[in-house]
């Protein structure tokens, strides 16, 4: 059925087949070493996370390890998430993908940052900053508070947990 | 036969990739996982829901700082060599590339070499780079005047690097992040505000050189387009 001359050819193809998948597998393992995988998004894959169909309160904070005021206010989000388990808190890091394993994960562990963290790596920020909020200059930190009905944008540091709580109330409950 | 094997490879690996997605989703307990990313770049999932209207509701004036064609203030700020520098010192200038930058911000650092190259290209043509540190403070070893001097020496800055010690100049311009560029013409009228190019992390992957294009436009007597761009940057610490 199989022509003898084609056997080496088939073997080569099979080798390519195996090599292709092995490579893929290696990549998969690399991205899920620990239980705390940090997904790297571009703007298009991040954007759906900035909207919701539900009434659940969402807080999305854009930050980075290199941004001192951002690091200062992280405990505020951690505390808010603990006090309000029904709120979805998402921390969007603008750190560098190469630093995820060596710097970001150790940083999150050391600081006890428990809310979900994803990374946004999309070079041409001028093309997507306005799609998030045209009034955002691009400076960090930047926070969005929203559910399916209301949303508010904050290009500033929250001074305290109380400050953040008030802004959430104002946004979600129109208080 | 080859076709079948190649197809097999693709399918097999695709499954693998799919598994990876599922694992990632499960690990992250992504409750929004029904919301898949848009399939096409133009198929944005954005605005309609959640009362989101992406409109610029603040004017440049409300944001603070200069509007286009406003005459930017001159200043007298201390350079890293100890001399006081004003824009009026540059009698031959056809324009000024005023860049608010600092020592420690990774985005500022990634642009240092590009600013050096820009100055070396455009200062002889009459468009010098004037770097100003809006975050200078004696309370932070890494943003002190001495640290600025060290950075300027280490990197051999060919341009002046000025300390906005009273933090008065940056808010007047409306500098909110580092690096933040204000391109002024000869009369100090603001002609371009924004970022240097469209890729901070990788100079070799830059597609649009916003600042260079704007300088070329001034040189050719045309209006920079775009004249306003945004970028992610470190916050300017006020006060």
User: Which chain A residues are Cβ-neighbours of B2 within 8 angstroms?
Assistant: 9, 13
Residue B42 confidence (pLDDT): 43
| Alpha carbons A59 and B232: distance in angstroms, whole number | 20
Neighbours of B191 (CB within 10 A): 22
Residue A9 confidence (pLDDT): 55
Does B17 have pLDDT greater than 80? no
Residue with more model confidence, B58 or B203:
B203
State the pLDDT confidence band at B77, using cuts at 50, 70 and 90: very high
Residue B91 confidence (pLDDT): 93
What residues does each domain of chain A span? 1-31, 40-173
Residue B149 confidence (pLDDT): 98
Residue A33 confidence (pLDDT): 37
pLDDT in tens, A52-91: 999 999 999 999 999 999 999 999 999 999 999 999 999 9
Secondary structure string (H, E, C) spanning A90-133: EEEECCCHHHHHHHHHHHHHHHCCCCEEEEECCCCHHHHHHHHC
* Cα B193 to Cα A72, B96, B100, distances in angstroms: 29, 12, 11
pLDDT in tens, A91-149: 999 999 999 999 999 999 999 999 999 999 999 999 999 999 999 999 999 999 999 99
- List, in sequence order, the alpha helices (H) in chain B: 2-28, 60-63, 106-110, 112-122, 145-155, 169-173, 210-219
User: Which chain B residues are Cβ-neighbours of A149 within 8 angstroms?
Assistant: 50-51
DSSP B100-168: E--SS-HHHHHTHHHHHHHHHHHTTTT--EEEEETT--TTSGGGSHHHHHHHHHHHT-SSEEEE-TTS-
Q: Indicate the average pLDDT of chain B.
A: 81
Does B131 have pLDDT greater than 70? yes
Cβ-defined contact of B8 to A39 (cutoff 8 Å) = no
State the pLDDT confidence band at A36, using cuts at 50, 70 and 90: confident
Question: Does any CB of chain B come closer than 8 Å to the CB of residue A156?
Answer: no
**Among partner residues A17, A27, A135, which is closest to B58 by beta-carbon distance?**
A135
H or E stretch including A9? helix A7-31
Q: Does domain A40-173 have CATH number 3.40.50.720?
A: no
Which domains, from first to last, does chain B contain?
Answer: 67-235 (3.40.30.10)
Q: Find, in chain A, the residue whose alpha carbon is nearest to that of B34.
A: A48
CB proximity under 8 Å: B 20-59 to A = 20, 23-24, 27-29, 31-32, 35-38, 41, 44-46, 49-52, 54-58
Interface confidence, given as ipTM, is 0.74
Question: Does any CB of chain B come closer than 8 Å to the CB of residue A19?
Answer: no
Cα B159 to chain centroid distance, Å, stands at 18
Cβ-defined contact of B20 to A53 (cutoff 8 Å) = no
Residue B19 confidence (pLDDT): 38
User: Which chain A residues are Cβ-neighbours of B106 within 8 angstroms?
Assistant: 66, 96
Q: Which two tokens stand for residue A161?
A: 């947990």
Residue B64 confidence (pLDDT): 74
């Amino acid at each position: 059925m199989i022509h003898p001359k084609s056997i080496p050819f088939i073997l080569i193809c099979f080798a390519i087949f195996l090599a292709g998948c092995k490579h893929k597998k290696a990549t998969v393992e690399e991205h899920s070493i620990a239980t705390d995988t940090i997904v790297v998004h571009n703007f298009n894959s991040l954007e759906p996370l900035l909207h919701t169909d539900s009434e659940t309160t969402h807080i999305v904070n854009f930050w980075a390890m290199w941004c001192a005021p951002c690091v200062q206010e992280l405990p505020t989000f951690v505390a808010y998430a603990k006090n309000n388990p029904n709120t979805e808190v998402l921390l969007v890091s603008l750190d560098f993908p190469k630093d995820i394993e060596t710097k970001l994960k150790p940083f999150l562990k050391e600081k006890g940052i428990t809310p979900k963290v994803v990374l946004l790596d999309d070079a041409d920020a001028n093309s997507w900053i306005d799609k998030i909020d045209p009034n955002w200059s691009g400076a960090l930190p930047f926070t969005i508070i929203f559910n399916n009905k209301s949303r508010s944008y904050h290009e500033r540091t929250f001074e305290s947990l109380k400050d953040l709580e008030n802004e959430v109330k104002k946004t979600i409950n129109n208080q | 036969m080859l076709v079948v094997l190649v197809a097999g490879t693709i399918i097999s690996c695709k499954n693998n990739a799919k598994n990876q997605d599922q694992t990632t989703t499960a690990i992250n307990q992504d409750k929004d996982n029904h919301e898949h990313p848009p399939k096409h770049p133009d198929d944005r999932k954005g605005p309609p829901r959640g009362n989101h209207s992406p409109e610029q509701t603040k004017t440049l004036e409300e944001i603070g700082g200069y509007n286009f064609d406003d005459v930017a203030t001159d200043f007298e700020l201390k350079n890293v060599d100890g001399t006081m520098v004003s824009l009026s010192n540059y009698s031959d200038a056809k324009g000024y590339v005023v860049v608010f930058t600092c020592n420690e911000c990774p985005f500022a650092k990634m642009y240092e070499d590009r600013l050096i190259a820009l100055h070396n290209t455009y200062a002889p043509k009459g468009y010098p780079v004037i770097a100003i540190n809006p975050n200078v403070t004696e309370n932070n070893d890494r943003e002190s005047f001495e640290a600025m001097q060290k950075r300027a020496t280490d990197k051999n800055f060919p341009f002046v690097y000025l300390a906005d010690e009273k933090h008065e100049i940056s808010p007047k311009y409306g500098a909110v992040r580092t690096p933040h560029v204000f391109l002024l013409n000869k009369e100090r009228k603001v002609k371009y505000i924004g970022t240097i190019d469209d890729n901070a992390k990788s100079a070799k992957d830059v597609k649009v050189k916003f600042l260079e294009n704007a300088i070329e436009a001034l040189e050719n007597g045309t209006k920079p387009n775009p004249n306003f761009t945004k970028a992610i940057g470190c916050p300017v610490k006020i006060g």
